[in-house]
Chains A and B, each alone.
Chain A
Amino acid sequence: MAVQSDVMDAAGPYDRAKALSAFKLGDTTFYWVTRASAISVLLILGGIIISLIVGAWPAIREYGLSFLWTQRWAPSADPPVLGALGPIYGTLVTSFIAMLIAIPVGIGIAIFLTELCPQWARRPIGIAVELLAGIPSIIYGMWGFFVLGPFLADSFQPFMIRLFDGVPILGTIFAGPPSYLSLFNASLILAIMVLPFITAISVDVFKTVPPVLKEAAYGVGCTTWEVVRYVVIPYTRVGVIGGIMLALGRALGETMAVTFIIGNAFRITGSIFSPGTTISAAIASEFAESDGLHQSGLILLGLLLFFLTFIVLACARLMLQRLELKAGK
């Protein structure tokens, strides 16, 4: 309002055309400023992709597509042999296990908070979950290293190893020896780290369900489980999946905490209790002293993570669209 009256004063009460053109100028400027902001995102994204491709080019030329399925990582060999299978495997496995744990727990917390929790407990639990999101990742790494790792290696891992010893497939997945630094430990830390994303977004979207829908469902005799399963979740599906995708994106790219506790080994053993590495952990630990083809290989790993995240997000979008189509019928 202040702006408007300023313009009016400056133009005088009778100079209508001048005042209007001043408004127009303001609008045009606003349009271009916002447009430039939007375009700058595209430019930055494009610039990152181009510089990654340029940096990765020597490695692409040297290894081609075989980079994707070579397990050997030997930057000191002459010539260096670099393969991304170990880090790709580690990234996918840790993210998968993390989501396996975080999705049910995260949504569980959200349902409890919105549907079942007594009023007085809502705030403390809600704030605790939000605080979890505010902890810097290095703290999670240190906690995982000093507290969680030894605990898992001394108690949980030996138990699982004994439980599944000799069972086909599961015996391999839970094979020993127990390790302070392992894919599983990293997955668990990731699960704790992404939990708040899933919970916070789920709580927000669960609150948007119109009470009348839930009341109607309770009115025809639905149990709480049935209300959640057939009313709340279907109504908020898009939002919940959005939260899960955000969490998955964080899990795929998380660097510091994972580097601390995953063990940074490029081998694939099949056991989730053995040390491994992820794409971002490999880059974080090796970039500083790398040069030549080795550095280019690490940049190529970065490019792969970029594409991996992109593919995961694209799949999520596609899935969402199909769900919506099905719901529309």
Chain B
Amino acid sequence: MNFIKTIVAAGLVAASTSAFAADITGAGATFPFPLYSKWADAYKKETGNGLNYQSIGSGAGIKQIVAKTVTFGASDMPLKPEQLEKDGMIQWPQAMGALVPVVNLDGIKPGELVFTGELLGDIYLGKIKKWDDPAIAKLNPKLKLPGDAITVVRRSDGSGTTFIWTDFLSKTNAEWKAKAGSGTAVEWPTGVGAKGNEGVAGNVSQTKNSIGYVEYAYAKQNKLTYGALVNKAGKTVQPTIGAFQAAAANADWAGSKNYYVILTDQPGDASWPITGATFILMHKDATDKAASQEAIKFFKWAFEKGDKMAEELDYIPMPDSVVKQIEKTWSAEIKS
């Protein structure tokens, strides 16, 4: 199925590049797809230029941009500076999103249950098996938790969401790092797998005494009970747009080459610890330079006028300081 999808996507992309020089083509991550299509719609109305974005997954998006079949690629996992160097590409973060732990427990309200990364790691390792475990009770002395077994829900497909989640667990739980590590698909020690964010959300809302992780938007849409988290500074934070932005603002974009920043477990009192950016990949010296410039124009426009649209869809716009830095990178690196 996916083969066919990729081939069709490649075919469409190829056809559209030759037919309309002004149309911008891109492919990659599924997570920012709703945002990019909303932006594209508004952009088309304003300028008459269209955007053709194929949400075929981060991995496939990277393959397409390396093969130069699209003008830009999109990935939820940043590429390492060496790999960018090798293929002559640059990357920058275009928007951010956050993950929340979600539970299905009788009598627990959203934001009541507090977790640490270490605790989540132990639950996902299968070390903590019941909800009345002393480790959970210690963090939540006021809550009455049942003695039932915890059903761990995680993704069964490879995904950028899983990368952000497992990266957070690896940073906060040494045993998780040693046993499972981080990646778009890992060797899960326990739990049931569900396909896509919607699959995890569905499983958690369906299964009593379960725990899972989803993009914030899915928790909100499905009215799931999300948990609060203890961040790197030791403070308990609730998942709010403000906390997500605090994490992004605290991130050291200036000091990291090629914006290779993974936003999990950032410092700062107000930072939400499981935040991630979605990245855009482009060639420095593209074959079709006109198309390349058109794409840059679009992303510039999105940074300037797309913030409100992003917030409406529960994405987090990039802070202005980072946007300025990205614009500098464009003028320095992209050849016109």
Contact = CB atoms under 8 A, between A and B. Distances in A.
A214 interface: no
B156 A285 contact: yes
A146 B206 contact: yes
B57 A289 contact: yes
A76 B192 contact: no
A145 interface: yes
A180 B181 contact: no
Contacts of B149: 176-177
Interface stretch (A26-34, A67-75, A91-99, A305-313): A67-75
Interface range for B: 20 to 34
Interface string A137-169: 000000001100110000000000000000000
Contacts of B58: 289
Nearest to A287: B2
B206 A145 contact: yes
A181 interface: yes
A266 B185 CA distance: 13
B183 interface: yes
Contacts of B207: 180-181
B22 interface: no
Interface string B181-206: 11111111011111100000011001
B113 to A, nearest CB: 21
A291 interface: yes
B202 A145 contact: yes
A285 B195 contact: yes
Contacts of A275: 191-193
Contacts of A150: 206
B85 interface: no
B206 A76 contact: no
A199 interface: no
B63 A265 contact: no
A72 B195 CA distance: 21
Nearest to A78: B181
Interface string A64-88: 0000000011111100000000000
Interface string B141-180: 0000000010100001111000000000000000000001
B101 interface: no
Given A264-B192, A265-B192, A289 B158 contact: yes
Nearest to A81: B187
Interface string B58-71: 11100100000000
Contacts of A73: 187
Interface in A245-294: 259, 263-267, 275, 277, 284-291, 294
Interface in A27-76: 72-76
B59 A265 contact: no
Interface string A293-326: 0100000000000000000000000000000000
Given A285-B157, A285-B193, A76 B185 contact: yes
Contacts of B59: 289-291
Nearest to A176: B149
A76 B181 contact: yes
A24 to B, nearest CB: 44
A208 B32 CA distance: 60
A216 B130 CA distance: 66
B209 to A, nearest CB: 9
Contacts of A290: 59, 158, 185
A289 B156 contact: no
Which residue among B58, B192, B195, B202 has the maximum number of chain A CB atoms within 10 Å of its CB?
A: B192
A187 interface: no
Interface residues of A, number: 32
Given A74-B187, A76-B185, A76-B186, A181 B192 contact: yes
A202 interface: no
Contacts of B188: 265-266
A289 B195 contact: no
B192 A179 contact: yes
A289 B185 contact: yes
Given A76-B184, A77-B181, A180-B151, A263 B193 contact: yes
B187 A289 contact: no
Nearest to A74: B187
A277 B157 CA distance: 13
A265 B206 CA distance: 18
Contacts of B203: 180-181
Contacts of B60: 288-289
Nearest to A182: B192
Which residue among B156, B186, B188, B190 has the maximum number of chain A CB atoms within 10 Å of its CB?
A: B156
A263 B206 CA distance: 13
B2 to A, nearest CB: 5
A287 B60 CA distance: 11
Contacts of A294: 185
A286 B183 contact: no
B157 A265 contact: no
A288 B158 contact: yes
Which residue among A75, A265, A285, A288 has the maximum number of chain B CB atoms within 10 Å of its CB?
A: A288
Which residue among A76, A145, A179, A290 has the maximum number of chain B CB atoms within 10 Å of its CB?
A: A76
A151 B305 CA distance: 50
A263 B155 CA distance: 10
Given A146-B206, A149-B206, A286-B185, 6 more contacts: A76-B187, A150-B206, A180-B151, A285-B156, A285-B195, A289-B184
Interface of B: 1-2, 57-60, 63, 149, 151, 156-159, 180-188, 190-195, 202-203, 206-207
30 contacts: A73-B187, A74-B186, A74-B187, A75-B185, A76-B180, A76-B186, A77-B187, A149-B206, A150-B206, A177-B149, A179-B151, A180-B151, A181-B207, A264-B195, A265-B193, A266-B187, A266-B188, A267-B190, A275-B193, A285-B156, A285-B193, A286-B157, A286-B158, A287-B2, A289-B57, A289-B58, A289-B59, A289-B158, A290-B185, A291-B63
